[in-house]
Structure 1
Amino acid sequence: MNQNNGLIGRRNFLNLTGNGGIALMAAVAGSAFWGVQANRAIAATVEPPSPDAALKRLMEGNQRFVQHKAKHPDQSEARIQELAQAQHPFATLLTCADSRVSPEILFDEGLGDLFDIRVAGNIVTPEVLGSLEYAVAVLTTPVIMVLGHERCGAVTAAVQGERLPGSMNSFVKAIKPAIAKAKDESGDPVDNVVIANVRYQIEKLKQNSTIVSERLLDEKLKIVGGRYDLDTGKVTLI
């Protein structure tokens, strides 16, 4: 996370985030996060795409991946240099940490295009929530996708009621509320909870973040759920 990226003046930040921004500003005003760089906006700002345009770009990239027509953009030496001082990702992805679910590959994007937050079970922990708020308030990404995937190990453990060793049981506990939401669904119980968990984590995100909810009200942000099919490579919107 580059501190120079999208760091904005105090007035602009408050305009972006409203009362939620005031609270966040108060919390970090004396920290090194803002520092000297906080007092000057990036000279050349990048206008983010609309939420619909950002989502369209994501899904078109996944279609290229599925059709084996990937372009592998933004991976050149020039792109590395371009991003050295600032990043302007057009979308934020909260995905499972599974090695088969790499967003830049699934959506045929490159360096600096996606702000990735990856954790087993794609759950919204306090740390994940803070990262999502950073993406919204500072990076101004117009779309967040919470992406679950077929045969998720974390979801499987939760459905089977397994007690995992060490701290691994924490993500099982975080997924359990989604099980109740899927109990009346027919079909594969694990896949049902994969989808229910995506919806549950989106619900948590909206309920627990003033910053996010205000951006949604301003129609500057869209939050969507997705399911990744391990067999086909296709992402389906939920």
Structure 2
Amino acid sequence: MSDAPPTPSEAFDLLLAGNRRFIAGTPEHPNQDATRRAETAPEQRPFAVLFGCSDSRLAAEIIFDRGLGDLFVVRTAGHVAGSEVLGSIEYAVSILGCPLVVVLGHDSCGAVAATRAALTDGLGTNGFVRDVIERVTPSVLAARAAGLTGNDDIIDEHIRHTVDLLVDRSRLLADKIDAGEAAVAGLSYHLADGSARVVTTRGLGARQA
């Protein structure tokens, strides 16, 4: 591993390059051999935090063609963020030195669909699934207030809301962004073709996949 960590922009470019390989069906499967296993055993220095939905089709290292020690992965249904998520992300940024945090949403998100059904039809849920729906509700309501009705538009709004929530609630992350030491990007993954589209960024300037 290189001693110098990548910049936020360099880390983002590494992710997008891996996703392009995945889309094209030409993955390199980097850092997945015995040498890398031994190399990362004493310590980890991932170049990005991947905070994504728990959906079984969003396997981060596959989507972005990465390997052992590359990504610090945190996943919850609907990428809803509580204190445990914020603490995990802050640990990766402050202790492990990750320069990039990515929020990864996707089309056909069950958590967003369940939230829309609960708000539209009053369909309730039992147990802790209700907590997931409550955390997605502000995003769906914001999308409605903006006149957004399409599934992809509402999911994009939820991704933007999650990015804003991370930066607004984590003073550590906000300070790192202000200092140019970290950035946050929101991506939307398309299940059919494997592409990760840029929805929003904080600290990267205007970027697109």
Alignment TM-score, normalising by the size of structure 1: 0.79
Residue 182 of structure 1 contacts residue 193 of structure 1 at CA under 8 Å; is this kept in 2? yes
Structure 1 residue 192, shift from structure 2 partner: 2.1
Structure 1 residue 100, shift from structure 2 partner: 0.1
Equivalent residue for 1:123, pick from 64, 69, 80: 80
Q: Give the aligned residue type for 1:76.
A: D
Superposed counterparts of 1:23-42, under 5 Å: none
Q: Which runs of 5+ in 1 are unaligned?
A: 1-43
User: Counterpart in 2 of 1:209?
Assistant: 170
> Which structure: larger Rg?
1
> How far does the alpha carbon of each residue in 1:67-124 deviate from its partner, in whole angstroms, 9 at most, with x for none?
0010011111111111111011011110000010011000000011000001000111
> How far does the alpha carbon of each residue in 1:155-192 deviate from its partner, in whole angstroms, 9 at most, with x for none?
1101111322211111111000001221134452x322
More strand by share: 2
Distance 2:85 2:16 in 1: 23
Residue 187 of structure 2 contacts residue 198 of structure 2 at CA under 8 Å; is this kept in 1? yes
User: Counterpart in 2 of 1:61?
Assistant: 18
Q: Give the aligned residue type for 2:15.
A: L
List, as ranges, runs of 4+ consecutive aligned residues in structure 1 with deviation greater than 6 Å.
none
Aligned length: 194
> How far does the alpha carbon of each residue in 1:17-57 deviate from its partner, in whole angstroms, 9 at most, with x for none?
xxxxxxxxxxxxxxxxxxxxxxxxxxx98321011010001
Task: Please tell me the root mean square deviation across aligned C-alpha atoms, in Å.
Answer: 1.4
Superposed counterparts of 1:1-238, under 5 Å: 46-161=3-118, 162-183=123-144, 184-188=146-150, 190-238=151-199
Residue 51 of structure 2 contacts residue 104 of structure 2 at CA under 8 Å; is this kept in 1? yes
User: Counterpart in 2 of 1:26?
Assistant: none
Distance 2:73 2:169 in 1: 20
Q: Percent identity?
A: 35
User: Counterpart in 2 of 1:23?
Assistant: none
Q: Give the aligned residue type for 2:134.
A: K
Distance 2:116 2:153 in 1: 10
Alignment TM-score, normalising by the size of structure 2: 0.89
